[in-house]
Amino acid sequence: MTAAAILPLLASIPAHASDAFPLTPRWWLPESASTFSDDVDTTFAFIYWVDVAFFLMIVAAILYFAFAYRRRKEGQRTSPVRGNHALEFAWSFIPSLFLIAFFVMGFRTYMDMQIPPADSMDIRVTGQKWNWSFEYPKQGITLSSADGLVVPANTPVRLTITSVDVLHSFFIPAFRTKKDAVPNRYTSEWFEAKHPGDYHIFCAEYCGDDHSRMTSTVHVLEPAAFTAWVADHKAASASMSPAERGQNLFKTQGCAACHSVDGTRLVGPSLKGKYGVEEQLTDGTTVTVDDNYIRESLESPGAKIVAGFAPQMPPYQGRLKDDEISALIDFIKSLNEEE
Ligand SMILES: [Cu+2]
């Protein structure tokens, strides 16, 4: 077979590999919910079944040869094999056709996954111990892990991902998409969800104590429902009091991952009823929890460490604006009134 014969053969591998290969084992994979997830599964399944076939052929050959050429008499030798060009050509050429097919299928899907369409909607994803925050630059909305990532169906969405502390990895199994969140660097991934629904988000990079709780959900809405949601969300945030804004920041800035507001001890102390209380510090001194102490806790958390806790809090210096710090203080204050 010449190159002229092989090229049309390769071109005939369908762009959407899933159309060509019906043996994809859907039952052992997560739901396939993005425009390229079927292709990822099919590429995987094709490689898998080819491997199964070769495995069986090789094991069968091993068993057959072991039996056919077993030593029958003491001192018996088999005649030496001097080589067989036709056979050697066949076992090099046929597998290399499979390798080329793996490459073409994999490369096409990889390029699909790497290159977001030009009209993609942008969302920023920021990982931190142990929260994902989702920022919609055009819509002016910020969401936390607890809110989830809200996106329209049948619309390409491009995520620009980073981390403020350690390595995390943003993983949506149903969309077959996963990218590292790296401090001081942006990575990106994109997807187009095929239909409305809720899908898991995981952090796929071990990142400390509460790594396993660094989960969230993608809420895929019909495009019209998404537009309505954006309008509702903006109206609701416009009418928020400072304490309510603080409550929102408390979620989107990841405070809620380490601080409860109901008295439960997490990685950090609960902030319920904290305001105005005398706090015992590790160096034996005490401090009153007031506006200045809270501000200092945010800007340089290492300055005063609460007794019984590890210095795990990340500094928020430069990440929170003045009015955001004030809103957070108002929220922490408001936790006293609720009692
Ligand atoms: Cu993580």
For residues 165 and 129, is the Cβ–Cβ distance under 8 A? yes
157 C-alpha vs ligand 1 centroid, how far in Å?
22
Ligand 1 centre from 132 Cα, in Å? 8
Cα-Cα end-to-end distance for the chain:
82
Rounded distance between C-alpha atoms, residue 302 and residue 315, angstroms: 8
Domains of the chain: 3-66+86-114 (no CATH), 121-237 (2.60.40.420), 242-337 (1.10.760.10)
> What is the arithmetic mean of pLDDT over 272-281?
90
CA of 56 from ligand 1 middle (Å) equals 40
Pairing mode, strands 131-136 and 141-143: antiparallel
Is residue 78's pLDDT more than 80? no
Banded pLDDT at 16 (limits 50, 70, 90)? low
The reported pLDDT for the residue numbered 191 is 95
Q: How confident is the model at residue 32 (pLDDT cuts 50, 70, 90)?
A: confident
Ligand 1 geometric centre to CA of 254 (Å): 12
pLDDT at 7 over 60: no
253 C-alpha to ligand 1 centroid (Å): 14
Q: pLDDT tens, 207-217?
A: 988 899 999 99
- Per-residue confidence (pLDDT) for residue 14, from 0 to 100: 53
pLDDT band at 270 (very low <50, low <70, confident <90, very high): very high
Dihedral class, residue 150 (left if φ above 0, else alpha if ψ from -120 to 50, else beta) = beta
Task: Compute CA distances 187 → 18, 59, 159, 248, whole Å.
Answer: 28, 43, 8, 26
Shortest CA distance to 191 belongs to which of 201, 203, 177?
177
Could you tell me the CA-to-CA distances from 128 to 94, 123, 206 in Å, in that order?
Answer: 49, 16, 12
The pLDDT tens digits of the residues spanning 218-235 come to 999 999 999 999 999 888
pLDDT above 90 covers a percentage of the chain that reads 55
Tell me the pTM.
Answer: 0.75
H helices of the chain, in order, are 3-11, 17-20, 37-68, 85-114, 223-238, 242-252, 291-299, 322-337
Q: Separation of 170 CA from ligand 1 center, angstroms?
A: 8
Distance 314 CA to ligand 1 centre (A): 14
Q: From the CA of 206, how far away is ligand 1's center (Å)?
A: 6
3-state SS assignment for residue 136:
strand
